[in-house]
Structure 1
Amino acid sequence: MPPTVLVIAGNDPSGGAGIAADIQAITAAGAHPAPVITALTVQDTVNASAVEPAAPEFVAAQAEAVLADMPVAAVKIGLLATAGIADAVATVLARYPAIPLVLDPVLVAAGGARLAEEALVDVVLDRLCPLTTLLTPNALEIRRLAPAAGDTAARAGSLRTAGCKWVLAKGGDEADEGRQEVVNTLYGPGAPRVFRWPRLAGGFHGSGCTLASACAARIALGDPVDTAVAAAQALVHTWLERAFRPGRGQLVPLRRPA
């Protein structure tokens, strides 16, 4: 029986990101997704134009129903949209401290539209970071979460001090990484681990959701965090190599079993 990953995220009607990406990635990586919807969005492969959050108590009730019904082996969080939703989710998950949590701190759509209110950052730092096994911020997100720190290593250290056990700092959108490769760095116990991947042409919709969900699936399957991160990146790189363009905008990873 595949292990269950509780996925808490918003819906993207294009199917490129959000809960659809999570479901596809977790399934392709060998686990069973149990999706909890936090928000509806008006979104396509170009950008997002509207977000309609669910009531915090309704999001919490969805998660509680899953946790009461089945053994959850990992939790993946994506778009939370509001501080109220984040607070409600933290209250539920605090009762399950043994379940590994992968947090992808979604703040802005790939096209640049803001998806979360400003107050969400404080709740992520104060209530969710202490519960987080693996945080997977991109360059913009790590700067928003740790604005006072210096370089990426200092920002990751700040987030680990806030409670995150591991931080995977993604470099796909870093201009100074050059055109030839993407550099992702995993900060945790011991020395940082650097992953270098050939930079693929084009922009991708849902790559962050996909990677965080693949990490959660590998952790649910029993991998240690550093092993899960390495395996998930390799899997996602393959999906990005196969990416297709279903609409007018960005490419979408082809999330299929290896």
Structure 2
Amino acid sequence: MNSPHTGHEPPANLGDQDGGAPACVLSFNASDPSGASGIGADIATISAMGAHALPVVTSILVRDTAEIFESFDIDSDAVVEQARSILEDATIASWKVGFLGTAEGVSAVAEVLSDYSDVPLVSYLPNLSWMEEDAQMAYLDAFRELILPATMVLVGSHKTLTDFLLPEWDAERPPSARELAVAAAEHGTDYVLVTGIPLPDQFIDNVLASPQGAMTGERFERFEANFVGAGDTLSAALTAIISTGTPLDTAVAEALSFLDQALDAGFRPGMGGVVPDRFFWALPPGEQPSGEEGLTDTDNTADDTVPPAPHSRHVH
């Protein structure tokens, strides 16, 4: 596994390149009291990248570091007003969509997105199996119809994206990242960043793909730990890097590297999963993370995690 950077400077090439004001990144996401995922994770990650987060709360999760128990809706008009008020004041360089609460919330956010079609959008689709079936289906239908057409990069685990984009898939082999990108493109999405693609010999792949094929990615050794908030961290990091004008393939490589080190320095604040340390780079020289050592006591959950890299990294 790579050693985390332990100097006093933020990760290289991720902050403002010209020494001026940081780029503004707007995030639509749920409030998560654990700080592992949701808007808290986005603020921490975007800030760690040297950008300025503009958080718009879309719902309120009731959860701990182990599971989500419930979600309280926020009125869709309130979501729109949050976004409109800051968009009339600040210029954004990129934005991210996370969990939007309900189908009505999806529609409200899509209304805002439609007025800024030139701003690159990264959309993250988490595992929503905790939702009631009818609400989940309505949410996914709205997300497919209203968010995907505006999305530059759709981020999600291989299982989640397969269930969402190719629900009728019945081949013996799992779909490739390119096949998922083809399915996403049918709804207007340019690229997919697929995490947790199973490979032989305890490896997984993380691949950026377009309908033409795989573009870049990193192959990681499967790591037997349950990380919470990895997907929000990866997608927020990618959104922040894109805000600097970094080419997409480079941005994906940097976002995966950032996540790798954040997970390597991960810690367990409660009795549930391990939370990525988005400020791993702020540790004093020589000081090791105070969190988990080994991180081998629980199994990976593919829908909210991207396991850390092995000792040697294979980039393709």
**TM-score of the superposition, structure 2-length normalised?**
0.76
Greater shift, 176-185 or 136-145, is seen at 176-185
Partner of 1:49: 69
Name 1:96's counterpart in structure 2.
Answer: 116
The residue aligned with 1:162 is: 187
Equivalence for 1:127: 146
Q: CA deviation at 1:41?
A: 1.0
TM superposition shift of 1:178: 5.0
- Give distance in 2, aligned partners of 1:106 and 1:130: 18
Identity %: 34
Aligned-pair CA distance for 1:190 = 4.5
Using the alignment, how far apart are the partners of 1:35 and 1:65 within structure 2? 12
Unaligned runs of 5+ in 1: none
Distance in structure 2 (CA, Å) of the matches to 1:220 and 1:256:
19
Cα root mean square deviation, aligned: 1.8
Q: Is residue 28–residue 257 contact of structure 1 (8 Å, CA) maintained in 2? A: no
Tell me, yes or no, if structure 1 residue 228 matches structure 2 residue 251: yes
User: Counterpart amino acid of 1:160?
Assistant: A
Task: Answer yes or no: is the 8 Å Cα contact 1:160–1:167 preserved in 2.
Answer: no
User: Please, which moves more after superposition, 4-13 or 137-146?
Assistant: 137-146
Secondary structure at 1:216's aligned position in 2?
A: helix
| Equivalent residues of 1:142, 1:156 under 8 A apart | no
DSSP 3-state at the match of 1:117: helix
Match of 1:218 among 241, 251, 254: 241
Q: Which amino acid aligns with 1:164?
A: T
Match of 2:100?
Answer: 80
Distance in structure 2 (CA, Å) of the matches to 1:120 and 1:93: 17
Q: Check the 8 A contact 1:200/1:241 in 2, yes or no.
A: no
* Equivalent of residue 237 in structure 1, options 260, 277, 284: 260
Residue type matched to 1:52 in 2? F
One-letter code aligned to 2:199: E
Amino acid in structure 2 at the alignment position of 1:184:
N
1:114 and 1:131 mapped to 2: Cα distance?
Answer: 24
Task: Indicate the structure with greater helix content.
Answer: 1
Where does residue 177 of structure 1 map in the other structure? 199
User: Quick one: distance in 1 between partners of 2:24 and 2:107?
Assistant: 23
Task: Give the deviation of 1:29 after TM superposition.
Answer: 1.2
Question: Does the alignment pair 1:117 with 2:117?
Answer: no
Q: TM-score, normalised by structure 1?
A: 0.92
What's the secondary structure of 2:269's corresponding residue? coil
Indicate the SS of the match to 2:213: coil
Counterpart residue identity of residue 277, structure 2? L
One-letter amino acid of the structure 2 residue matched with residue 158 of structure 1:
A
Within the candidate set 38, 60, 69, 2:80 is matched to 60
Partner of 1:207: 230
CA contact 2:65–2:271 (8 Å) conserved in 1? yes
Tell me the CA shift for residue 179 of structure 1: 6.3
In structure 1, what is the Cα distance between the partners aligned to 2:227 and 2:86? 31
Distance across 1 between alignment mates of 2:75 and 2:183 = 31
Note the C-alpha offset of 1:105.
1.5
Rounded Cα–Cα distance in structure 2 between residues aligned with 1:196 and 1:164: 24
Structure 2 residue aligned with 1:251: 274
Q: Who wins on radius of gyration, i.e. which is larger?
A: 2
Aligned partners of 1:85, 1:195: CA distance in 2, in Å? 34
User: Which SS does the other structure have where 1:6 is aligned?
Assistant: strand
